[in-house]
Amino acid sequence: MTIPHAPLPGEPQGAPVRDRAGGSAVAGCDRRSVPLLELRGITKTFGDVVADRDVDLTVAAGEIHALLGENGAGKTTLVRVLAGLTHADSGEIRWHGEPVHVGSPADAIRLGIGMMHQHDMLVSSLTVEENFELARPEPPLALGLADTRSRVTALTERYGVEVRPDARVDTLTVGQRQWLNLLRILDGRAIRLLILDEPTASLTQSEREDVFRTLRDLRAGGVAVILIVHKLSEVFEVCDRATVMRAGRVVATRPVSETSKEELAGLMVGHAVDTRLAGAPTAPHEVILTVSDLRTVGAERDLAGVSLEVHGGEIVGLAGVDGNGQRELGECLAGVRRPSAGTVTVRGADVTGCPPTELTSLGVARVPEDRHEHGLALGLRIWENVHLGRSGSRHLVRRGVMDTSRARRLAAELATRFDVRTQDLERPVGELSGGNQQKVILARELGDDADLVIAMNPTRGLDIAATQFVYEQLMAVRSRGGGVLLVSFDLDELLALCDRVLVMSGGRIVGEVPAAGADRTLIGMLMGGEHQQVSGEAVL
C-alpha cells in the first residue's frame, strides 16, 4: 500500500477538489467571513458523568483542525454529536452561520459531514462493494452493484489500495479497512467537513503518510477536517490549528505555527510530566517466564513462533500495531487460548495450555485487555469480583461452601490497599468508574503478591490519576523482584515504564530494543513490518 503520490479524491458533484489556489473559490468564497462550523455551548452528560461541558469550537473551511486531549477528555463525544450519532443535552451547532439540527447520521450526511470512526464502520460479513452500496442514499430497492463496483475499483486504484471489490471485509487488514472507510466517505458525496477519530492508531507508517497526504489534498479543495489525534508529532505534521480539551472543556485553541509540543502537552495534562518512570536497571534476576516457539492455529492473527523471556525485576514491553498477535499471545499466556505448538514455562514448570486457575496458583497475574468483557462480571458485587477466579486459592472455600464474611473482610482490605474508592462493596462493580474498576482487577490479581504479571493495555481508557496508579503497581511488582510483560499500543507508555521493549509484527517478535534512549524511528519501522531493513540494527 505504498503510493508515490495520492492524486485528488473523488469527483463527486461539486466536490471542492482543485489545487490549493482554486480551493477557496469553491469553498463558498461569498461566505468567507462566516466559519463553516461553529459549536456553541455544547454540553453532553452520560448519567452523572459530564462528557462535554459548554464546549465552543470553530472550524473554517480549508483547515485541518486538531482535537487533542487525553482519553476521556470529551473529544469523541463531541464529534459524535457533530456526526448525529448522539444528541447534546444543550448547545447549538451553526453551519455557515445558520443554526442546524443534526439529529441523526442522515442529517449529518446531508450537510456534508463525514466521519471516520476509531473502529471502522464497515459490516464485516458483507463485501467491499456491498458496504459502499449500503451508504448510498438512493431508494432502497435496486442494487446497482455493477456501478458500485466500477466506482470502488476506480477509487481503490487511484489510492493504491489493493482490495478486490467483491472481497468480504472480514478478510481485509485493519489498515485496508480504515482506508475503505475513508474512501467510502469520499465516494459520491459533496463532503464539506471530514471528521477523523484517531485514524492512525492502527495504521503503519506508510499508510499514515498516505492518509495525511489525502487530508492535505482535501484541505486544498476547501474541505474542513477535524482530526482527533494522540500523537503530538502528527499535529505538527499536518494540522493548521489545534484545540486542546481537558475533562470535558476546551482549554485552548492555538494556531499550530505559534505553539510547541511542550505547550500542547502541558495544556493536555494540566501539569508537567516526566517521561521516564523506570528506575535504575535492577540486577538481573532469574528467568520467570519462558515462551518458546509458540504457535496458534485459527486465531484472528496466528502466532508464527513467538519466543521470549521475562526475568524477575524487569518490565518487558510488547509493542506493535493492534492486531499483530499481541492479543493471541496474551490469551495463550492467560490460559484462555490453547497454542498449537511451542511451550510456556513459569519458573521452570511447563504450563502450556494450563487453565487459568492453575496459573493463578503459580502466581501468574493477568490483567486482561477488555475490562468489561474479560476482567469483571459487571453485575456481581465489588467484593465478589475481588475474588473472581481466586476464591479457591485464597482458602475461602471449604467443601464447596464459601466463607463469605472472611471474603468480604479480605476484599475490604484489598480494596483499601488498592485505593478502590466506593462507599459500598456490596454494589455491582459495573457502577464504578473505569479507573476504580481497573483497581478492582489489580487488587484481585496483584493482591497476593504475584511474581509474574501479564498486563494487556492496562491503562486503556483511564484518566491520568488511574494510569499513574497502574504504573506504580507495575513498578512495585518489578521492585519486589517480580516480572511484568506489558502489552501496550502506547509507545510512550512502554518507553517510560519498561526495561526493554519487544516489537511484534505479523504474529512474531521482530526485534528487541532497550527502552532507555530507544530509537523511536527504529521501533516504528519494526512495528510497520519493515524489519528486514533494520534487522541488522535490532538486537534479536
**Are 156 and 176 in contact, with CB atoms under 8 Å apart?**
no
Which is closer to another protein, CB of 43 or CB of 206? 43
| Measured distance CA(307)–CA(508) in Å, rounded | 8
Contact stretch for another protein (CB under 8 A) within 204-212, 342-350, 356-364, 530-538: 356-364
Q: Please write down the long-range contacts of 107-112, taking CB distance under 8 Å and 24 or more positions apart.
A: 108/82, 108/83, 108/84, 109/137, 109/189, 111/192, 111/193, 112/189, 112/190, 112/191, 112/192, 112/193
Which position has the grid cell 499550530? 256
Applying CB under 8 A, which of residues 126, 247, 269, 475 lies at the interface with another protein?
A: 126
Applying CB under 8 A, which of residues 11, 413, 431, 472 lies at the interface with another protein?
A: 413
Applying CB under 8 A, which of residues 423, 532, 533, 539 lies at the interface with another protein?
A: 423
Confirm or reject binding of residue 518 to another protein (CB under 8 A): no
Taking residues 270 to 299 in sequence order and writing x for each that binds another protein by CB under 8 A, - otherwise, the string is: ------------------------------
Q: Which of residues 79-98 bind another protein (CB under 8 A)?
A: 83-86, 89-90
DSSP characters for 268-315?
Answer: HHSS---S----SPPPP--EEEEEEEEE-SSSSS--EEEEEEEETTEE
Applying CB under 8 A, which of residues 1, 362, 412, 522 lies at the interface with another protein?
A: 412
**Total residues in contact with another protein, by rule CB under 8 A:** 81
3-state secondary structure 183-246: HHHHCCCCCCEEEEECCCCCCCHHHHHHHHHHHHHHHHCCCEEEEECCCHHHHHHHCCEEEEEE
Q: Smallest gap, in angstroms, from Cβ of residue 365 to another protein? A: 12
Cell digits of residue 477: 511488582
Nearest to 266 by CA among 279, 251, 255: 251
| Measured distance CA(142)–CA(162) in Å, rounded | 28
Q: Smallest gap, in angstroms, from Cβ of residue 151 to another protein? A: 15
Confirm or reject binding of residue 402 to another protein (CB under 8 A): yes
Confirm or reject binding of residue 476 to another protein (CB under 8 A): no
Residues 6+ apart with CB under 8 A from 113: 82, 83, 84, 102, 191, 192, 193, 195
Contact stretch for another protein (CB under 8 A) within 19-27, 241-249, 369-377, 491-499: 369-377
Contact stretch for another protein (CB under 8 A) within 113-121, 272-280, 311-319, 464-472: 113-121
Confirm or reject binding of residue 124 to another protein (CB under 8 A): yes
Applying CB under 8 A, which of residues 57, 68, 109, 503 lies at the interface with another protein?
A: 109
Confirm or reject binding of residue 28 to another protein (CB under 8 A): no
Confirm or reject binding of residue 450 to another protein (CB under 8 A): no
Which run of H or of E encompasses 432?
Answer: none
CA atoms 216, 222, 227, 232: torsion sign: positive
Q: Smallest gap, in angstroms, from Cβ of residue 436 to another protein? A: 10
Contact stretch for another protein (CB under 8 A) within 57-65, 276-284, 288-296, 330-338: 330-338
Q: Smallest gap, in angstroms, from Cβ of residue 307 to another protein? A: 25
Contact stretch for another protein (CB under 8 A) within 12-20, 270-278, 418-426, 464-472: 418-426
| Measured distance CA(238)–CA(355) in Å, rounded | 48
Applying CB under 8 A, which of residues 105, 266, 342, 506 lies at the interface with another protein?
A: 105
**Are 497 and 379 in contact, with CB atoms under 8 Å apart?**
no
Confirm or reject binding of residue 74 to another protein (CB under 8 A): no
Which is closer to another protein, CB of 30 or CB of 424? 424
Q: Which of residues 296-315 bind another protein (CB under 8 A)?
A: none
Applying CB under 8 A, which of residues 99, 270, 355, 514 lies at the interface with another protein?
A: 355
Q: Which of residues 29-58 bind another protein (CB under 8 A)?
A: 47
Contact stretch for another protein (CB under 8 A) within 213-221, 287-295, 317-325, 329-337: 329-337
Applying CB under 8 A, which of residues 18, 249, 374, 460 lies at the interface with another protein?
A: 374
Which position has the grid cell 502541558? 266
Q: Smallest gap, in angstroms, from Cβ of residue 311 to another protein? A: 26
463 CA to centre of own chain: 14
Confirm or reject binding of residue 137 to another protein (CB under 8 A): yes
Q: Smallest gap, in angstroms, from Cβ of residue 34 to another protein? A: 26
Applying CB under 8 A, which of residues 320, 375, 482, 483 lies at the interface with another protein?
A: 375
DSSP state of 490: -
Which is closer to another protein, CB of 456 or CB of 510? 456
Which is closer to another protein, CB of 439 or CB of 478? 439
Query: Which strands sit side by side in the sheet containing 241-246, from one edge to the other?
Result: 113-116, 193-197, 224-228, 64-68, 241-246, 249-255
CA angle 459, 376, 462 (to 5 degrees): 20
Confirm or reject binding of residue 416 to another protein (CB under 8 A): yes
Contact stretch for another protein (CB under 8 A) within 318-326, 372-380, 478-486, 532-540: 372-380
Cell digits of residue 18: 482543485
Q: Which of residues 165-204 bind another protein (CB under 8 A)?
A: none
In this structure, are strands 349-350 and 304-311 parallel, antiparallel, or unpaired? unpaired
Applying CB under 8 A, which of residues 336, 362, 475, 522 lies at the interface with another protein?
A: 336
DSSP characters for 355-407?
Answer: -HHHHHHTTEEEE-S-IIIII--TTSBHHHHHTTTTTTTTT-EETTEE-HHHH
Cell digits of residue 146: 455493477
Which is closer to another protein, CB of 138 or CB of 162? 138
